[in-house]
Structure 1
Amino acid sequence: MKEAEYKIFYCNVELALDVMGGKWKPLIIYHVGGAGVIRFGELKRKIPNINERVLSRQLKELVEADLLAKKIYDEVPPRAEYSLKEAGEALLPILKQLGSWGKDYQDEHQYGEIYFEEEYDA
């Protein structure tokens, strides 16, 4: 990490949320992990509420944080695929557990409508 980017955190949760938190990054990690290898367009279809600019920026930040790997193919049109690196893989059980908590919460409170095209193995 460059010295200008060095940050101070007051607990480990704060650091973890800075690296992988926010509205979109956990969803990106979850879907990349579920697919194994995924392209931008497929990821966009799995997260329909994210706009392309935000998705592109979030992917770039996850690659820079060493959670995702990006493989670029020298083709026309250009093609890139994303996969989880070791640090990203370590987050999958946590995200799946968070999803289980969300399901239980929904069952008890009927918080909102949940639409699943597919669910990954727990």
Structure 2
Amino acid sequence: MLKIKKVTNEPSCPVDYAFKRIGGKYKGRILWYLHLKTVMRYGELRKTLSDITPKMLTQTVRELEDDGLIHREVYHEVPPKVEYSLTETGAELIPFIDYLRIWGENQIEKERIKR
């Protein structure tokens, strides 16, 4: 008899689930800057993340919004105004991102001392 595997969309590993939501070059930085500034417009994010292309920024903020980590507020005016802020779920990540920031600073300092 042929067995059929049941496919589910449920995450199998919490660590994998978390890194899929915040992994990548820009997501953690966007969350961190939104924490520091509370609310940022698209142009502010673009200036703050000078190494990101407009296409990548748009894709990344959409993913963060789809994952419920940031809120996108659209103001129907001319010119269009869009503001981004952390959701409650996004804000829960800040202590962990801050810990990673501190760890990164320490590692950079250790590398500097080695040279």
**Shared fold per TM-score greater than 0.5:** yes
Q: Which residue in the other structure is 1:15 paired with?
A: 17
Larger radius of gyration: 2
Question: If the length of structure 2 is used for normalisation, what is the TM-score?
Answer: 0.86
1:8, CA displacement in angstroms? 4.8
Q: Which residue in the other structure is 2:33 paired with?
A: 31
Among residues 83, 89, 92, which one is paired with 1:90 in the alignment? 92
Q: Give the letter for the 1:69 counterpart.
A: H
Question: If the length of structure 1 is used for normalisation, what is the TM-score?
Answer: 0.82
Extract unaligned runs of 5+ from structure 2: 1-7
**4+ runs of 1 displaced by more than 4 Å?**
none
Q: Which residue in the other structure is 2:71 paired with?
A: 69
Extract unaligned runs of 5+ from structure 1: 1-5, 112-122
Q: Kindly, what percent of the aligned residue pairs are identical?
A: 32
Matched residues in 1 for 2:48 and 2:34: separation? 10
RMSD: 1.5
Matched residues in 1 for 2:85 and 2:12: separation? 31
